[in-house]
Amino acid sequence: MSFKVALNFEDGVTRVIECNDDETVLDAAYRHHVKLPMDCSDGVCGTCKGSCKQGQYDLGDEYVDEALTDDEAADGLILTCQMLPQSDVVVSIPAPSSMCASGPQSISSTITNVQALSETTIELNVELSEALDFLPGQYINLGFPDSQDTRAYSFSSRPGSQAASFLIRNVPNGKMSTYLSEQAKAGDVLSVTGPLGSFYLRAVERPVLMLAGGTGLAPILSMLESLRATPTSQPVYLLYGVTNVSDLVKLEALQELADELDNFSYATVVVNPDSQHDKLGFVTDHMESVPFALANADAYLCGPPPMVDAVRQYFKDAGTPPHSFHYEKFNPSTPKEEAA
């Protein structure tokens, strides 16, 4: 038996490796040519200390207290030289990937379809040259044909498949928007580098509130597709906000997910006050529709900076912040900004 270990480095790079039964994370990493920090490899020095907040594992009792105290172990800290996964796990490594000889993967992708879902959103479907393991919510850097330029886009598809999809904002005169709208065709080859990012779905142990603005729906869809594969008994609620009714996309996919997942429900919100829609305004105007207490929920938000700032201020003013709050904000053609 083997388990997947997602190694999250402090520079946002993620590398997923296979760890065999009775194999330590450190040994598995070295087998995959990933040089994690280490010195003694015997549980004595503490150099290989990291943290694991997702998945089951065994640390045994062969390490010394100076390397890892009981309090640290209780708080989710681990020694990769002692850690034996007992399920798929996510391990945070307090070092950049460049120090561990493990930069992001670089593969190619072939366009299978490009479709304008609305005036503001383009859906890009590609076939990856190999299946890419990533954490639902993460993104890649997508390169243009015959160019060194890249743009960052979150997966809207499930992890581990060669078929991948992305929701891309149609920016007037934007380089990627122009290429996809006017030039792209099936068979074009695009470079893919990743996965990247600390915005991803953690283990679902309490109610989940998802908030999406515009094409920020993409990583939320990836998270929901992951939950389709591994359903949860916890309630999951999505508030999806856009400027105009015509900007709402992937509603059939959302409804299909709601029909299949017993505990998932969603609502859409439209900013334009002249729209014929039952929920007008901003997502912060409709928090009362959330069917559970925020204080006992994990919140995930992806949207433009004004939306992220407004939600952060809402949680602050309400005095009842969620149990955890993970967000990603984006501007077209600029790097993503993330916080855990």
Task: Render pLDDT for 96-135 as a digit per residue (tens, 0 to 9).
Answer: 998 898 878 899 999 999 999 999 999 999 999 999 999 9
CB 91 within 8 A of CB 8: yes
Domain residue extents for the chain? 2-100, 105-196, 208-339
Residue 23: both structure tokens together:
């194999």
DSSP-based three-state secondary structure for 113:
strand
Q: Residue ranges of the chain with pLDDT lower than 70?
A: 331-340
Catalogue the E-assigned strands of the chain.
Answer: 2-9, 14-20, 49-54, 57-58, 77-79, 84-85, 89-93, 105-116, 121-128, 139-143, 150-154, 163-169, 189-196, 208-213, 236-242, 264-270, 298-303, 324-329, 337-339
Taking the C-alpha atoms of residue 7 and residue 21, their distance in angstroms, rounded to an integer, is 17
CATH tag, 2-100: 3.10.20.30
Q: What is the pLDDT of residue 86?
A: 97
Q: What is the pLDDT of residue 337?
A: 52
Q: What is the pLDDT of residue 198?
A: 87
Nearest Cα neighbor of 306 from 254, 243, 221, 237 is 243
Q: What is the pLDDT of residue 340?
A: 47
pLDDT in tens, 204-218: 999 999 999 999 999
Residue tagged 């379809």 (tokens) = 113
CATH tag, 208-339: 3.40.50.80
Q: What is the pLDDT of residue 221?
A: 98
Residue 221: both structure tokens together:
């869809």
CB 248 within 8 A of CB 242: yes
What fold, for 105-196?
Elongation Factor Tu (Ef-tu); domain 3 (2.40.30)
